[in-house]
Amino acid sequence: MNMIAWTVVLIVSILLGISYVRYLTVHPVRMGWYMFFSTLFLATLVAVIATQFDGWMIALAAGIAVVAFLAGYVWMTKRFLSREDPRPVPELTRKKGDTGLGHTAVIYFTHGEPETYDPIGWINQFNEFDEQKIAFVPLVARPFFVHSLRKSYLNVGRSEHRRTHMRTLKALEHQFRQMGDHTTRFYISFLDDNPRPDAAFIQALNDGASRIVVAEVFVSDSNHTLEGKHLIEEVKADDLGVPVTYTGPMWNLETMHTLFVERVRSHMNGTHKSKVGILLVGHGQPDEWDREFATETEHELLFRNKILDHFEQDGFPRKNLSLAWMEFKEPKPAPKIEEFSANGVEKIFYFSAAISADALHSQWDVPKLISKARNPRNIPIVNLGAWNDDPIAVQAIKEKILAAMGQ
């Protein structure tokens, strides 16, 4: 038996497993190198097995190679998922008994999405679900999930999520200044981008805030809002005597419901309301998650149905107003688009209704699902995106903040 050949099969197979996970998960500028290494390791493995073994030994060597590959793959996957969150969190320098400078700080808190590929948000999500024993993507499939995330970035080039929220925050602050409020300070924070909500919270405390309002720019109460609250509560602001108020999500705010009607009106270009189809696409979550975070689905449905009510009250036929889900739930967007077409509409508008600012979902995932619809009449299908920095959205967020401030 050629011990050198067996050793080469074992080592190269492990290296192939490691390299393949790296190829699936690294930043796009580095994935070419790991594709090269993976191809090299695979070619070496095939060559060694084909030339150094005969008969049934080939099958045995191939079996050992598969087991060794999986060992390297699983080891590298676990190492990838154990990556520490690199986002900085400042040190809390404010001392107990410090009453602050008397102003209010608003922590603008939303989901967040890095402009370019960075998997740390999903790594944190995987780890959180594992701790809570909530079933999600199996361990061995997670590198492929992350690979799909990276592919979405490559397709769209850049997520507009962060820039859009920065514009929204700037517009929000401008409205407060126009009201004569020159003392309230505003801080951006993201669950899956930088700065984290706890980092923004600590900065507000260090800057002397005497009261903090956390503006939750989400459509629903969910594991995302809960995670943000946990991060903020770990700072233990109560020890400093600083009151903290949460605005709650946006699903029940009528101002937000009118946003969608106004945006469609501005894009109709003379098309009669009876000839317009409108589809509100929600995010969706697995049914088993509903048992843990029932308000996620409940609020998404209430939010979108209220919006459809506003469309109907404005004169749009109910038969041409519908809901769909991006993932996990039915119906999907394409069948609904086809229903509108069969109803004789001349133009279709769709929203990524649960997304606060354009992101991979609204820039790529939802349009991809829409493109699966059969459209024999070539009806224009217009993507009206997420909420974004629409003046109505800014007004709605302001209303939530003022209510939390008791104004």
pLDDT exceeds cutoff 90 at 134: no
For residue 219, give the amino acid letter: V
- Count how many Cα atoms sit within 13 Å of the Cα of residue 89 in the half-sphere of its side chain: 16
pLDDT computed for residue 1 by the predictor:
53
d(CA 266, CA 375): 24
d(CA 65, CA 11): 9
Higher pLDDT pick, 258 / 128: 258
- Tens of pLDDT, residues 250-286: 999 999 999 999 999 999 999 999 999 999 999 999 8
Three-state SS for 21-82 is: HHHHHCCHHHHHHHHHHHHHHHHHHHHHHHHHCCCHHHHHHHHHHHHHHHHHHHHHHHHHHC
Mean pLDDT, to the nearest integer, of 369-395? 96
How large a percentage of the chain has pLDDT more than 90? Answer: 88
- Tens of pLDDT, residues 317-332: 999 999 999 999 999 9
**Band of pLDDT at residue 343, cut at 50, 70 and 90:** very high
For residue 217, give the amino acid letter: V
* Inter-residue contact 401 to 106 (CB < 8 Å): yes
CATH number of 254-387: 3.40.50.1400
Q: What is this structure's pTM?
A: 0.90
pLDDT exceeds cutoff 80 at 138: yes
pLDDT computed for residue 254 by the predictor:
95
pLDDT computed for residue 136 by the predictor:
85
Q: Where in the chain is the domain with CATH 3.40.50.1400?
A: 104-251+392-404, 254-387
CA distance to 6, 9, 10, 49, 206, per residue, from 3 (Å):
5, 10, 11, 13, 64
- Tens of pLDDT, residues 281-304: 999 998 888 988 899 999 999 999
Nearest to 172 by CA among 131, 137, 215: 215
276: which strand partners?
347
Domain 104-251+392-404 matching CATH 3.90.25.10: the answer reads no
pLDDT exceeds cutoff 80 at 154: yes
For residue 352, give the amino acid letter: S
* Inter-residue contact 151 to 143 (CB < 8 Å): no
d(CA 348, CA 275): 9
Q: Cis peptide before 331, with omega less than 30 degrees from 0?
A: yes
- Tens of pLDDT, residues 157-194: 999 999 999 999 999 999 999 999 999 999 999 999 99
| Mean pLDDT over each residue of the chain, to the nearest integer | 95
For residue 309, give the amino acid letter: D
d(CA 193, CA 241): 28
- Tens of pLDDT, residues 191-218: 999 999 999 999 999 999 999 999 999 9
pLDDT exceeds cutoff 60 at 93: yes
Q: C-alpha 407: how far from its chain's center?
A: 32
